[in-house]
Amino acid sequence: MKPLRSIPLMGAIGSGRGSWVNKFWNKTGVAGLVLFAAGGVGAADAGSSSTNLLADLPLEDLVNVKVTSVSKKEENLNDAAAAIFVLNNDDLQRSGATTVADALRLVPGMQVAAIDSGNWAISARGFNSQFANKLLVMIDGRTVYSPLFSGVYWDAQQVFLDDVDRIEVIRGPGATVWGANAVDGVINILTKSARDTQGGLIYAGGGDVHLAQGGARYGGQISENTYYRVYGTYQLNDDFQTTSGRSTHDGWDLEKGGFRVDRYIHDDSGHLTWQSDAYGGTLANRTGDLNGFNTLGRWTQRISEHSSYEVQGYFDHTYRNDSLAQAAVETADLSWQHTFGLGEHNDVNWGLGYRFTDSRVSKANSPAVTIVDHNVPLNLFSAFVQDEFKIIPDRLFLTLGTKVEHNDFTGFEVQPSARLSFKPAENQTVWAAVSRAVRTPNEVESKNIINFALGPPVVGPGGGLYVPTLINGMNVKSEVLWAYELGYRIQPGHHVSVDVATFYNDYSHLVSNSPEDFIPGTPVGILEVEPFNTLRAESYGGEAVLTVAPTGSWRLSASYSLLMLHVQGEPASDARTLELNAPTHSVVLRSGYDFTHRVSLDADLRYVDKVDRIAAYVTADIRVSFRPIPNLELALVGQNLLEDHHSEQASLIGAPTTEVPRGFYGTIKWRF
Amino acid sequence: MDRQTAGFHRATVSSEYQVKAAFLVNFPKYAEWPPEAFAETNSPIVITVLAETNVAEEVQKAIRGRAVNGREIVLQRLASGAEPGVCHILFISAAEQRHSPALLAKLKNASILTVGESEDFLRSGGIINLARQDQKIALQVNLKAAGRARIKISSKLLTVAKLVEGKEE
């Protein structure tokens, strides 16, 4: 026979965890056969690969091994014409993060800055702040972006981290599929099917910053093809401090519980999901509180290899009573999606959606807040269509699509995109995209819901005092982004992958707050400050990720992000603030090493450039994990190790700047 | 998109393709090919897969460093529509099953242990089907097809198989 060429293409991959390298490696054999041989591949630690262990089993044992499901067709990340990064379950576990927000620090290009113990500023590619409004976040297909203030309350978005399948992060616009407010990024947090979380899991732990954390999950079977899980979690987080060591009274706790049921029908071609969560907690050292619940149903049906549809509906209630106001938001959402092949070369995906949101501000907790209207109901109608055209199968793809929405703030919004992906070789992808996305005004900006005092009184005409107060702007329009992106991915060697994404963003109609009229009053008058679309911005930059797996048990990655942002327009002070609130340079270095299949060491080092009023910082986290028996894991985590404390982002509501402290915690986890 | 495969975190439950990959690399111990299937006594055993990347990766992980009776096991990946060259085990995944009737017809008399994972795989002339039953992988064997391919399947494999067709042959 002809000797086989020995190409140890995949030597680095098999360390028994979802490898970063995997997703940069290609799906389709472009030119006939792709050969790779096993002989002398890598220096894999056989003990750390579960597959190797399974392969040691005799057939009579193998037929008794329980299996989870791998979905039949999943998008290959390597081919995607977008800047995508995925944190899988293993990455999450190894990160040592106790919150979704902290886990996102490891994603290249994500700007994550703690404002205090329970508030984060999180965005991508600029415009980061406590009220970052250009990042859309979804949990299992349910939006958690608040229409009230345009943004995400991260403390309420805790999930049972062990049951998260993956967190998909798209930097850049995703509005064609996901709709308005997916301007600078989209985060999809996806939990596992109940079929993949069978059995029990209990964890408990605590430390000096994350004082206590604990949770339990149990998954079982209702009938042959119906699975369930129930879970509950708790976490208690300590106050942070100011630079001078005073407590900022921002400690918080959260209890959350829920269930998920998954039913598979017709040999897995149909999949029904029903899931619900409820949570409650206290904020700011028990002076505030929050709670909420949601229930979601989804039916996905595959009709043929190229055709499927999905129907989803959910209801979501959130309540928050914080230092500003007491507010509740109810959301009901219904959507339909259909995918089908059109001829040999086209895959068409289209969908319709309707969302009803009702926000109520019931009480002002701050003298700065004046309630104008307690209740604002909103309707959102949407439709999208997208076609993936295989110009040259396996080599050149063009995806064209658009979303059309009608919202109660600005009427119709059209958000098209064109994405081109070219694979010059099996191990390389070049992609380019042009897209338009909008950030629709929120209720504070554009509806008569509350007025908000922005600062101390100023001296106005006639020498009287006037409090600058943000009122609603009836004429405020959507902020618009045209984004131009170019990216390249390559796996140059067997253990190395490189992913580079670049962008040029052109923003128009950015909202600023312009002082308008002096309204006299006693004892003080009001200086009406109204939101207007007066600013323009241009930004360019990119993210580069290098992943190296020197051996099967060691992974290293380095990522660098650059953001250059220029904002123009009046008032110049607003333009300047927007420019300054995201770092120009940031770097994340990570290492994950398995000493044996029982002991792992994970470490990261992060550099974040200066932002408005905050100095640049470097910090590091370390996690050591020990598994004396397969079902038991002990972990010790040290966070923000390089300094006693550092600050990351200033508050926008006049609260003192808090410092993120060094912290340690330990956990014990048992599966049964 | 890759699924997490955190083996030691999830020792009791394994992904479907980890288990299927383990079956594939085990089959050489339970099958006997005619001598002409190998050029030399130490020629490698070639497992060819027509499957998605993540499936191929699982097989590669399972193979690593393994040998049976002095024969190294090597993996070869097949593109959709292509034909395998020298090959001893051919695995066709569910996602590629539309190619399997044509491929199986073409390879009917070749000494290739064909392995699939679709309901009608045995009916189309495949030798072993890895069927998912009750959260486990069940073996289904078509002895008639094995006979045509001049491959002897050991009785050990047949005892753990859930379904054996064409026993009389």
CATH classification of the domain holding B89? 3.40.50.2300
A171, two tokens: 């930097």
B9 domain residue, yes or no: no
Residue A558 pLDDT > 90: yes
As a whole-number percent, the residues of chain A with pLDDT over 70 amount to 89
- Asked if A63's CB is within 8 angstroms of B160's CB, the reply is yes
A90 touches chain B (CB under 8 A): yes
Backbone angles phi, psi at B73, to 5 degrees: -105, 130
At A266-289, the pLDDT tens digits run 767 889 999 999 999 999 877 899
CA angle A496, A499, A500 (to 5 degrees): 140
Residue B93 pLDDT > 60: yes
pLDDT confidence band for A487 (50 / 70 / 90): very high
Nearest to A81 by CA among A525, A487, A461, A423: A487
Residue A231 pLDDT > 50: yes
Over residues B110-133, mean pLDDT: 90
B8 domain residue, yes or no: no
Max mean pLDDT among A23-32, A344-353, A522-531 falls in A344-353
Q: Average per-residue pLDDT in chain A?
A: 85
Output the pLDDT for position A7: 25
ipTM: 0.83
- Asked if A25's CB is within 8 angstroms of B74's CB, the reply is no
Quote the domain boundaries for residue B142: 17-165
pLDDT confidence band for A552 (50 / 70 / 90): low
B4 domain residue, yes or no: no
Q: Where are the beta strands (DSSP E) in A443-495?
A: 450-453, 458-459, 465-470, 479-493
* B9, B13, B64: residue with CB nearest A66: B13
Sign of CA dihedral A260, A265, A269, A270: negative
Nearest to A316 by CA among A439, A141, A180: A141
B19, two tokens: 């288990």
Residues of B in contact with A88 (CB under 8 A): 2-4
A602 touches chain B (CB under 8 A): no
Nearest to A98 by CA among A238, A218, A283, A235: A235
B86 domain residue, yes or no: yes
Gap from B110 CA to chain A (nearest CA, Å): 15
Query: Can you give the residue ranges of every domain in chain A?
Result: 77-671
CA dist., res. B114 & res. B106, Å (int): 12
Q: Which one is predicted more confidently, A291 or A370?
A: A291
**Minimum CA–CA partner of B7 in chain A:** A50
Backbone angles phi, psi at A594, to 5 degrees: -105, 110
B11 domain residue, yes or no: no
B118 domain residue, yes or no: yes
Gap from B87 CA to chain A (nearest CA, Å): 10
What's the total number of domains in chain B?
1
**Architecture, CATH, for domain A77-671:** Beta Barrel (2.40)
Q: Which one is predicted more confidently, A168 or A14?
A: A168
